[in-house]
Amino acid sequence: MSSEFILRLIGMIVFSIIGVAVGSFLGQAAAENTSVVSTFTVEQYAFTVGLVGALIGLILTPYITSRPMRSLRALLARISPQALFSAIAGLIVGLVIAVLLSFPLSRLPGLFGDLLPFAAVLIFGYIGVWLFVMRQNDLFAVASQLSGSRAAASGSPAAEGSSGANWADSRTILLDTSVIIDGRIADIARTGFLPGALLIPRFVLNELQYIADSPDSLRRQRGRRGMEVLAQLQREPTIPVRMSDIDVEGVREVDDKLVILARQLKCPVLTNDYNLNRIAELQGVTVLNVNELANAVKSVLLPGEMLSVRVIQEGKEYAQGVGYMDDGTMVVIENGRDFMDKEVGVVVTKVLQTAAGRMIFARPEDQRSSER
């Protein structure tokens, strides 16, 4: 038995009682009015109107009880806690100002004294909510600065440690589906380079679940890998991970939802998706790209430096050999085919940076010695 059915029964009983009372009143009024000839008795009036009231209660009760509450619950789930707290604080401040003004306004003559206090409550309540929600980031920034200054003034080590933790917890980073499937986010988060909580919206989880249930074996494997990475992140006590039911109404694409949500929350998006990266940057959203991070932390080599690399395959040109560094950078070795499946010392001759990554050209160290 569902809660909506129980509410319908309660509403039917309540409205039938109201209908019986209204029917009895109408029956008595009709009986006392001698100018109107009524064929119904008071009991018949009460029964008929009570039956109509029961039918109205059975139909309308969910529309005035459970469904508005469900819509309100969905609305509150979409609103960020910061915006909700700001709205409540603004409403309280606006009502306090309205109460202070209501006494002098009530002393005005005529209708002004009756209507202006009520109008002041509505106007100042609305202004307080609107102003605090619009300036919520500034208000929270001022509050954090005041709390930080008090902690610094106290000079306690615990306060200093907690301020650092609050600085990290006050930041939110939105995760894309691609970066979860990639898996490197777990290793990056363990290092502590991400200063904040990782926020994963429900629609990202739904997309990840859809990929994991795909009939295509490759997509299914990628989706299950993403689920495993997500489980690793949740098991790590040092990595704050939050799941949220927040959604963006009227938008179907996950990338568009992420961009809009990032603009609303004023937080960056962590992704590997090139298209999402470009769309977010065009709309002024900060993007943290794991591929760009991987390219940035690769070791820097200059022409003339030496390194050791294992030749694993032939190159496209004649007598070329190809090897890879530990970070995945490709090294093309002139005359390196003779060193196939061997570790060889090479000298860097040129470093080429492309959109796909970095490529290093080198030649064997023995060849340079012979040229000298």
Question: What's this model's pTM, rounded to 2 decimal places?
Answer: 0.47
CA distance 21 to 31: 15
The reply to whether 205 and 176 lie within a common domain is yes
Give the HSE-up count for residue 83: Cα atoms under 13 Å, Cβ half-sphere: 12
C-alpha 154 chain-centroid distance:
35
178 & 234 share domain: yes
pLDDT digits (tens, 9 = 90+) for 129-173: 888 888 877 777 777 667 655 655 555 444 444 433 443 444 788
Structural domain including 208 reads 171-296
SS3 assignment for 25-61: HHHHHHHHCCCCCCCCCHHHHHHHHHHHHHHHHHHHH
Same domain as 124, residue 178: no
Task: Decide if 160 is inside a domain.
Answer: no
The number of angstroms, rounded, from the C-alpha of 308 to the middle of its chain's C-alpha atoms is 46
Question: Is 228:182 a contact under the CB 8 Å cutoff?
Answer: no
For range 84-94, the mean pLDDT: 89
Please tell me which residue, 360 or 38, carries the higher pLDDT value: 360
Is 91 part of a structural domain of the chain?
Answer: yes
For residue range 289-317, what is the model confidence (pLDDT) as tens digits?
A: 888 887 777 777 888 888 899 999 888 88
pLDDT digits over 191-244, tens only? 888 877 888 888 888 898 899 998 888 888 988 998 998 888 888 888 888 888
Classify residue 148: in a domain, yes or no: no
Q: How far is CA 231 from CA 35, 76, 225, 234, in A?
A: 81, 27, 10, 5
Statement to judge: residues 84 and 189 lie in one domain: no
Do 61 and 94 share a domain, yes or no?
A: no
Higher model confidence: residue 323 or residue 190? Answer: 323
114 found inside a domain = yes
* 292 and 316 share one domain: no
Q: Are residues 129 and 33 in the same domain?
A: no
Based on the domain organization, do 292 and 191 belong to the same domain?
yes
